[in-house]
Chain A
Amino acid sequence: MDFFAHLGKYILTLKGMFTRPENNKIYWRELMQQCVDLGVGSLPIVIIISVFLGAVTTVQSAYQLISPLVPLTALAQVVRDSVMLELSPTVTCLVLAGVSGSKIASELGNMRISEQIDALEIMGINTKAYLIAPKILSAIIVIPLLVILSMFLAIWGGRTAGSISGILSTDTFDRGLIDGFSTFNLIFSLIKSYTFAFLIASIASYYGYNVKGGALEIGKASTSAVVVSCILILFADYVLAALLL
């Protein structure tokens, strides 16, 4: 029953966003601000995890795959497809659910507890549209871009790690990258990114916006937002793979 109560409230919260903005300019400015916060704020962690993900994938794949029967270029293909299909969209979004999801939930929770949301309501502003919609839109704009960046960095990390550790030369890696490249993999990765971005921002906003109580509840809402987002990202990951691959 609790699940359905949350689901109903979540849908109502999202439905409440769809009204005409009171002032387009202010909403646009808020959207841009959220894009900068989310993009710039998440960039360092995305860069670090991506480079190491690619590097580790190369080294571990080499450990499992290197044999006289398997061409070295296959290693680059494995790294490329692992990164594009799973590692960059899923792992990056799981990390972003922790970093950005908790930030969104605690920011909105704090605004709720300190009556800042009530103050906006009293002014005649639709707080769901003003506070939640720009966060979801900015996530949908920025997270796929971060995932694309993550793919490039992970592949570069894998290429560099392969070269440094003497597993395969950069030329061989580059040849492997081109062999059997499928554009659909990129599209599939972007579909996942858009889905995960929506889940991260909407779930975190839902938990933050509906906080009741005090400072302790902000922490609980933030934790719930991260846990639920991670579970739903993994669930959506499976569903999309089953449906589209």
Chain B
Amino acid sequence: MIKATNLKKSFGDKTVLNDISAEFQTGKCNLIIGASGSGKTVLQKLLVGLLVPDSGRIFYDDQDMTGMGNDERKLLRQQIGMLFQGSALFDSMTVQQNIIFPLNMFSKHSHAEKLKKVNEVLERVNLKDVNKKYPGEISGGMKKRVGIARAIVLNPKYLFCDEPNSGLDPQTSLLIDKLINDITKEFNMTTIINTHDMNSVMEIGDNIIYMDKGYKEWEGTREEIIFSKNKLLNEFIFASDFLQDAKEMRMIEAGKKG
């Protein structure tokens, strides 16, 4: 579990996060949603330790990350995997070299064992025959999957995903969502996902936080989102007529079930 209490962050005069407190559950996909500029990326960067909060605390299970020294923080980071918006694969390395890199850096296993692990995670993300290819030679969806494979190769306890579906077609987006959801359940990870994608919200959002102008505006599950009376949330989630209709259908279905 990751717990944030009273997080505040400003850049110069501009306050981008105001008093954010939240709990991100283990074994669940925790989604942070909100419009561009709402502060969700800053929140994720604070949680993962790429930015330092002005005030507030972040707990990884019982460990207070905000009070950690460099060495402790390094050890904690070896338990964190992250999928970046642009995948952030190392251009100069092949897919195999990208995935084996964290193992080479931190694992004492033999090269053969490391290669076995690389092939296992590649198989887990449904990728074949890409070991020797460079990131520039594979599609956007494949890059995301390689990014996931690299993120999980050290068996992390915590997985962060920044806009995992950006730039992908709807079908590939669904595959990536399913993959992240399955991996979260399979390895019992605490997964935190930043997303704009409403399909992700409705498909894998076990716990959802809605951010607006630096404030936590709403928190709940994907079932609760349908019946939420929060005006800002409804305007954001059900912005189009199509999504509004989908919401009404879901409400009718839920009503029939009683």
Q: Per-residue CB proximity of B47-85 to A under 8 Å, as 1/0?
A: 011100000000000000000001001111110111011
Question: How far apart are A149's CB and chain B's nearest CB, in angstroms?
Answer: 27
List 16 additional contacts besides A121-B49, A122-B49, A123-B101; criterion CB under 8 Å.
Answer: A19-B70, A22-B74, A114-B86, A114-B91, A115-B86, A116-B88, A116-B90, A116-B91, A118-B50, A118-B84, A119-B82, A122-B81, A124-B74, A124-B75, A124-B78, A125-B105
- Which A residues are in CB contact (< 8 Å) with B126? none
- Which B residues are in CB contact (< 8 Å) with A119? 82, 84, 88, 90
Looking at chain A, what size class is its interface with the partner chain? 10 to 19
Asked, given contacts A23-B106, A115-B88, whether A122 binds B75 with beta carbons under 8 Å apart, the answer is: no
Asked, given contacts A116-B90, A123-B77, whether A26 binds B50 with beta carbons under 8 Å apart, the answer is: no
- Which B residues are in CB contact (< 8 Å) with A19? 70
Among residues of B, the one whose C-beta sits closest to the C-beta of A22 is: B105
- Which A residues are in CB contact (< 8 Å) with B85? 115
User: Is B102 positioned at the interface, with any CB of A under 8 Å from its CB?
Assistant: yes
Interface residues in chain B, defined as those with a beta carbon under 8 Å from any beta carbon in chain A: 48-50, 70, 73-78, 80-82, 84-86, 88-91, 101-102, 104-106, 160
Among residues of B, the one whose C-beta sits closest to the C-beta of A124 is: B77
Cα-based distance from A116 to B89 in the complex (angstroms): 7
- Which B residues are in CB contact (< 8 Å) with A126? 74
Among residues of B, the one whose C-beta sits closest to the C-beta of A119 is: B88
Cα-based distance from A128 to B237 in the complex (angstroms): 41
Whether B88 lies near A118 (C-beta < 8 A) is yes
Contact of A115 among B80, B84, B106 (CB under 8 A): B84
- Which B residues are in CB contact (< 8 Å) with A23? 104-106
Whether A123 lies near B84 (C-beta < 8 A) is no
Among residues of A, the one whose C-beta sits closest to the C-beta of B101 is: A123
- Which A residues are in CB contact (< 8 Å) with B74? 22, 124, 126
Whether A122 lies near B50 (C-beta < 8 A) is yes
- Which A residues are in CB contact (< 8 Å) with B105? 22-23, 26, 123, 125
Whether B106 lies near A22 (C-beta < 8 A) is yes
Cα-based distance from A121 to B102 in the complex (angstroms): 11
Could you pull out 26 A-B pairs where Cβ atoms are within 8 angstroms? Answer: A22-B74, A25-B104, A114-B86, A114-B88, A115-B85, A116-B89, A116-B90, A116-B91, A118-B84, A119-B82, A119-B84, A119-B88, A121-B50, A122-B48, A122-B49, A122-B77, A122-B80, A122-B81, A123-B78, A123-B101, A123-B102, A123-B106, A124-B73, A124-B77, A125-B105, A126-B74
